[in-house]
Amino acid sequence: MLRKLEEKLSGLKTAGLLRRKRIAQSPTQTRQSINNHDNSISTEKTLFCSNDYLSLASHPEVIAALKDGIDKWGGGSGASHLISGHMAPHEELENMISQLFSGLISDNRCITFSTGYMANLAVITALAQGDCEIFSDELNHASLIDGIRLCKKTVKIFKHANYDHLAMMLNESTAELRLIVTDGVFSMDGDKADLDTLYELSEKYNAWVIVDDAHGYGVLGSNGLGSLEVTNQTSERVVLIGTLGKSAGLSGAFVVAHQTIVNFIFQTARAYIYTTAALPAISFALLKSLDLIHGDLGRDRRAQLKLLKNHLEHGLLGLKNKYPKFELLIVESSSPIQAVVVGEAERATRLSSRLEELGFRVPGIRPPTVPKGTSRIRLTLSANHTINDVDLLLEALGSCFREEV
Ligand SMILES: Cc1ncc(COP(=O)(O)O)c(C=O)c1O
């Protein structure tokens, strides 16, 4: 086995696909100290890669609430939710989230998880019952794909956001239960699913829509409720998953859907039942974080993000025109995620390394995370970035292209 694994590892190295972890020496903020590849000196970089979109991970009120939560509730929950691990802050958080979405999903209930990965496994494995077919966007997040693999049902993969393709598949389906699975905002491209169309298809073909809004929650909609808030209609046929480690600045996830659906997940999902409940202090601090997201501060930070995004997009399009030989693809985005597709994995890696030398942390994203030939650098914005930060990044990118990196 060791020999085979070594061979595979060296294959990854040759293909430029070896992954490396980097050790951060300071908290998540727009500037962060991160060790060099050889773990030597830690230097401060401007971070354009975290999902801390609203910069709440470093918000003093969130940090104070976390400390307060530890004082009140101690360390770990000590057990799974259905043994003795479900504590008052977990319950309060679920009630708060259920209330927040009451106008978008009627008769709803909320259930929380310690990570989005677990939530996705739980939802799909619990709901894919009996004679069921799953219809999955080809660019869905890995955790949705793993949930689909785990439930061992027939899966039909439709071309990215191609709802004619999806409709054709739904039309041919004879299954009793049809689950459409999609990211709300796609994590590697930053574009969003067209939920209005998906709702219509779900009505027409008697299907359900499972939406993973990890990157939409907190960011989209004037109240920060995410992808469901920016649709023109509501649906009884939607199951929403949101994560709390991105815009909310802490960790965890929630599922909101009709109460019968959530009751069923609660009763049967192995990824809920057989895992220790998250630290109650996190749920306690999330109450504060969600207050901020859905209040004035959240509104201001969403406005700042929009400003930054427009500035970045404009600058990137300028670079694309200035350096046509690089055939950059600036993916059209409706979120603080901006992908710049550069093609081959080595190129994305080279660009990312050079940007790092220039003081910016911008990861190269390569297969298998994205399809072959679409390697990219992926820029993410946080509300605490300034226009000047974006200008400096654009300048650095320009100098990379001048040097023909
Ligand atoms: C679209 C999407 N869904 C789910 C997850 C998993 O969430 P978590 O990090 O909370 O496990 C992520 C990333 O982390 C994601 O990008």
> Tens of pLDDT along 227-271?
999 998 999 999 999 999 999 999 999 999 999 999 999 999 999
- Confidence at residue 217, expressed as pLDDT on a 0 to 100 scale: 98
Give residue 16's pLDDT band: very low, low, confident or very high (50, 70, 90): confident
Residue 221 sits in the same domain as residue 133: yes
How close is the Cα of 248 to the center of ligand 1, in Å?
13
- In-domain check, residue 205: yes
Residue 251 lies in a domain: yes
Averaged pLDDT, 30-52: 89
Number of domains the chain is built from: 2
The torsion defined by the Cα of 230, 235, 238 and 243, in degrees rounded to 10, comes to: 30
Do 245 and 195 belong to one domain? yes
> What CATH number should be reported for the domain holding residue 365?
3.90.1150.10
37 and 71 share one domain: no
Q: Are 238 and 117 in contact (CB under 8 A)?
A: no
Q: Whose CA is nearest to atom 14 of ligand 1?
A: 116
Question: How confident is the model at residue 113, as a pLDDT?
Answer: 98
Is residue 5 domain-resident? no
Residue 141 shares a structural domain with residue 263: yes
Report which ligand 1 atom has the smallest distance to the Cα of 245: 10
Return phi, psi of residue 276, to 5°.
-70, 135
The per-residue pLDDT for range 274-317, each reduced to its tens digit, is 999 999 999 999 999 999 999 999 999 999 999 999 999 999 99
Measured from the Cα of 143, ligand 1's closest atom is 4
Quick check: 87 pLDDT over 80?
Answer: yes
Q: Which atom number of ligand 1 is nearest to the Cα of residue 186? A: 1
340 with 358, same domain: the answer is yes
pLDDT digits (tens, 9 = 90+) for 132-183: 999 999 999 999 999 999 999 999 999 999 999 999 999 999 999 999 999 9
Confidence of residue 109 (pLDDT cuts 50, 70, 90): very high
**Structure tokens, 49:** 């890669």
Q: Which atom of ligand 1 is nearest to the CA of 183?
A: 1
Residue 230: per-residue pLDDT: 97
Residues in contact with ligand 1 by the CB-under-6-Å rule are 115-117, 120, 141, 143, 183, 187, 212, 214-215, 243, 245, 253
Q: Do both 274 and 191 map to the same domain?
A: yes
258 and 146 share one domain: yes
Which of 252, 276, 294 is the last residue in one of the domains? 294
Residue type, 149: R
In percent, how much of the chain has pLDDT > 70? Answer: 100
Same domain, 192 and 246: yes
Domain match, 32 and 146 both: no
Task: Classify residue 46 by burial, with Cβ atoms within 10 Å: 0-12, 13-18, 19+.
Answer: buried
Separation between Cα atoms, residue 266 and residue 11, nearest integer Å? 43
Task: Give the domain range for residue 368.
Answer: 20-49+297-402
- The band of 405, judged by pLDDT with boundaries at 50, 70 and 90, is low
Q: Do 290 and 305 fall within a single domain?
A: no
208: domain CATH number is 3.40.640.10
111, part of any domain: yes
Determine the distance separating the centroid of ligand 1 and the alpha carbon of 214, expressed in angstroms.
6
